[in-house]
Chain A
């Protein structure tokens, strides 16, 4: 059992750098829970005092919109970690997490976690490294998003032409920043498409006829003897042709 749990801990970004022996120590402090569809794992506003790792099943992360309705922020499943920040800070839960199916989760209480840290201060350093590398990863994407925002503000969409290739739709928790950037990128594409469409409409409407000039040019051509005789000739020609057809 402890072995199973420590194997699972290893897949989490938080614990992946720890030696096997330490993982086993952590695993011993971990509890397991079973949930049924609709069960609430975390309630928004509650005190955050433990971290959960999903073993089986799926959860929705929800908050409330301005009208008090349910707003689903994300869905999460096996291998994902929920509420890891609670191990370090004192802030209340920022969202509610509800099971979408029967589920199994591992729970690591804050107190138990503190105990481990007291016994093994070296773990703290590994954890700080994990958080730091994740932060750096996110920062890179945020910098990218800032750069793009500035370009869009200046009307420069050229980056959309050669950026598609590096975007991937990430699934793991680590990729949240990448997912944000990917969503941002899709948004830019659709904004650009709308802008292009509007531009066309503007260009289309700009096709205008100067009616005064149209009238003047028409009169210049038609107020001649040549035109009058041409018009008469054409009339006769058509009449003759019509007569021939009726024969």
Chain B
């Protein structure tokens, strides 16, 4: 069995910037010389492939094919380091060891898996296979918001769980439940990340409030940014704009992940 770490990125509600954060964290960790996989388990509404420049034409086998027993997990791996150097930010990933395991974006295949369901245990075997076959140091799982079965599985098998929340009441409430679940499942490392913090708030204050409420460490407070909203969906923002405040705070989070033994 591999010694690679599973890092699940979760948020209780949608719109927290979860896929973006996952892609950027994975890219930063790959840039630090690690062997990294990214898997999109948001089967209902996949999105992370766009950030890595993958479209329907380029996409080969998907996680859906694996879950339907049509291929091995190794066949799903898409090598970003070799193929995705087509945007300013992503170009920096050339030669890095980074693989994406995409979910299908074909409507028919999405509705099929939602209708028929799949074996959650098979998904777990998939994760273990990814770690082993590519000898990964880190496997980042972009989860579906909420706490459905595949998300609970991702949390259960995580070595590191990163929960993303915005500083508002609804995210606070949902995060509280997720934190309780993570503790109940004995997740060894729990990190919180605050995203889309309004610039008028003091980042240190937010960090303190969130840490006091959840008794968990906040790895970063990332600002709400129009630059981010404008550029985020086409490229890996922290690679394209490394000096941006958002990027600096994100590197703080990736550093926290790298420091966990």
Q: How far is the CA of A208 from the CA of B173 in the complex (A)?
A: 8
A207, B169: Cβ atoms closer than 8 Å: yes
Q: How far is the CA of A245 from the CA of B205 in the complex (A)?
A: 39
Which positions 194-243 of chain A face chain B at CB distance < 8 Å?
196, 200-201, 203-204, 206-210, 213-214, 217-218, 221-222, 226-227, 230-231, 233-235, 237-238, 240-241
A244 within 8 Å of B (CB atoms): yes
B181, A208: Cβ atoms closer than 8 Å: no
Q: How far is the CA of A235 from the CA of B149 in the complex (A)?
A: 17
Residues of B within 8 A of A218 (CB): 177, 180-181, 184
Residues of A within 8 A of B256 (CB): none
Q: How far is the CA of A221 from the CA of B157 in the complex (A)?
A: 17
B91 within 8 Å of A (CB atoms): no
A207, B156: Cβ atoms closer than 8 Å: no
Residues of A within 8 A of B168 (CB): 207
The verdict on A231 contacting B184 (CB below 8 Å), with A204-B206, A207-B213, A213-B173 known, is yes
Q: How far is the CA of A244 from the CA of B200 in the complex (A)?
A: 49
Task: Say whether chain B's binding surface is mostly helix, strand, loop, or mixed.
Answer: helix
Q: Which of B152, B176, B200 contacts A227 (CB 8 A)?
A: B152
Which positions 106-165 of chain B face chain A at CB distance < 8 Å?
121, 124, 147, 149, 152-153, 156-157
B202, A231: Cβ atoms closer than 8 Å: no
A200, B202: Cβ atoms closer than 8 Å: yes
Residues of B within 8 A of A237 (CB): 157
- How many A residues are at the interface, by size bracket? 20 to 34
A244, B1: Cβ atoms closer than 8 Å: yes
- A230 nearest CB neighbor, chain B only: B156
- A238 nearest CB neighbor, chain B only: B186
Q: How far is the CA of A218 from the CA of B201 in the complex (A)?
A: 30
Of the listed residues A196, A227, A234, A237, the one surrounded by the most CB atoms of chain B closer than 10 A to its CB is A234
Q: How far is the CA of A204 from the CA of B153 in the complex (A)?
A: 33
The verdict on A235 contacting B186 (CB below 8 Å), with A196-B200, A222-B181 known, is yes
Residues of A within 8 A of B45 (CB): none
Residues of A within 8 A of B124 (CB): 233
B1, A241: Cβ atoms closer than 8 Å: yes
Residues of B within 8 A of A245 (CB): 3
Residues of B within 8 A of A235 (CB): 186
Q: How far is the CA of A233 from the CA of B3 in the complex (A)?
A: 18
B53 within 8 Å of A (CB atoms): no
Chain A nearest Cβ from B2, distance in angstroms: 9
Q: How far is the CA of A221 from the CA of B3 in the complex (A)?
A: 30
Chain A nearest Cβ from B172, distance in angstroms: 5
Residues of A within 8 A of B1 (CB): 240-241, 244
Q: How far is the CA of A233 from the CA of B202 in the complex (A)?
A: 42
A221, B177: Cβ atoms closer than 8 Å: yes
Q: Which of B181, B185, B209 contacts A207 (CB 8 A)?
A: B209
Residues of A within 8 A of B180 (CB): 214, 218
B167, A207: Cβ atoms closer than 8 Å: yes
Of the listed residues A196, A207, A237, A240, the one surrounded by the most CB atoms of chain B closer than 10 A to its CB is A207
Residues of B within 8 A of A200 (CB): 200-202, 205
Chain B nearest Cβ from A203, distance in angstroms: 8
Q: How far is the CA of A63 from the CA of B67 in the complex (A)?
A: 87
Q: How far is the CA of A156 from the CA of B176 in the complex (A)?
A: 38
Chain A nearest Cβ from B218, distance in angstroms: 13
- A216 nearest CB neighbor, chain B only: B177
B213, A230: Cβ atoms closer than 8 Å: no
The verdict on A206 contacting B173 (CB below 8 Å), with A230-B185, A233-B124 known, is no
Which positions 4-33 of chain A face chain B at CB distance < 8 Å?
none
A209, B173: Cβ atoms closer than 8 Å: yes
Residues of B within 8 A of A238 (CB): 186, 188
Chain A nearest Cβ from B168, distance in angstroms: 7
Chain A to chain B: the 9 pairs with minimum beta-carbon distance, closest first: A234-B156, A217-B177, A214-B176, A218-B180, A209-B176, A244-B1, A230-B156, A207-B172, A204-B209
Q: List 21 A-B contacts (CB under 8 A).
A: A200-B202, A207-B169, A207-B172, A207-B209, A208-B172, A209-B176, A214-B177, A214-B180, A218-B180, A221-B177, A221-B181, A222-B184, A226-B149, A230-B152, A230-B185, A231-B184, A233-B121, A233-B124, A238-B186, A240-B1, A241-B3
Extra A-B contacts (8), CB below 8 Å, given A200-B202, A209-B176: A196-B200, A204-B209, A213-B173, A217-B177, A218-B177, A218-B181, A222-B181, A235-B186
